[in-house]
Amino acid sequence: MSTVIAIDGPAASGKSSVAHQLAGKLGRLYVNTGNMYRGVTWAVLNAGFDLKESEAIAAYAKDLKLEFVDEGGRILMLVNGRSLTDEELNSEKVNGAVSLVAQVSDVRTRLVNEQRALLVRGDLVMEGRDIGSIVFPDSPFKFYIDASEEVRAARRSKQGLNDTVAMRDKLDSTRKTAPLIVPEGALRIDSSDLSLDQVVERVLEELRSRGAA
């Protein structure tokens, strides 16, 4: 039976780098669920929807063609047969719209089902906002990576990304369906004053102490 290491946290907390590195070290598949919400948002914007049309967006997302391929140990989502570039997934337009699209409950249902189905492919490291709370609440391995708002905003601008971190966090934490929370049973790690390697080591330490690494 395959298992999931669930990594949650706010925008720019460093969770993607931690999850990616961890997956490589442990030989697990890496799944970035934020990119799935970004991919659907890109398609919604590309199809010309007004973000207020949540019912139309829900219907569109239900039938959207999504495929998942293993590319060197990371799962990539193809949207209508197309692999999206990092520039497309992280564009200013997608940054500004993704939290709104992620509030549409049928969008979440579709993607949560897809995320659960990935478990048949093997052991996973999956990162997002609701992995330990909703997608895999029974996972024995849950981590919540945090960092102060200043540190997170600085990290994003250092990457040259124009991202509205504070606004997205507010929307992601206060939405009705699957808000960002510290999942029950998760180990919270504040990465504000830690290097990437130190955070990964802290996660590995915990996993080792439980015989899982």
Q: Which residues have C-beta within 8 Å of that of residue 104, sequence separation ≥ 6?
A: 54, 57, 58, 61
- State yes or no: residue 38 binds ligand DC (CB under 6 A): yes
CB 116 to ligand DC: min, Å? 12
- Is residue 99 close enough to count as binding ligand DC by CB under 6 A? yes
The contact pattern for ligand DC, residues 69-98, with x = CB under 6 A and - = no contact, is -----------------------------x
Reduce the DSSP state of residue 146 to 3 states and report it.
strand
- For residues 9 and 12, give the distance between their C-alpha atoms in angstroms, rounded to a whole number: 8
Closest separation between CB of residue 186 and ligand DC, Å? 14
- Give the whole-angstrom CA distance, residue 33 versus residue 117: 13
Structural contact between residues 19 and 200, judged by C-beta atoms closer than 8 angstroms: no
- Whichever of 11 and 75 has its CB closer to ligand DC, that residue is 11
Residues 4, 6, 7, 11: which binds ligand DC (CB under 6 A)? Answer: 11
- Strand 74-79 to strand 82-83: parallel, antiparallel, or no bridges (unpaired)? antiparallel
**Interface ranges with ligand DC (CB under 6 A):** 11, 33-34, 37-38, 98-99, 102, 128-130, 168, 172
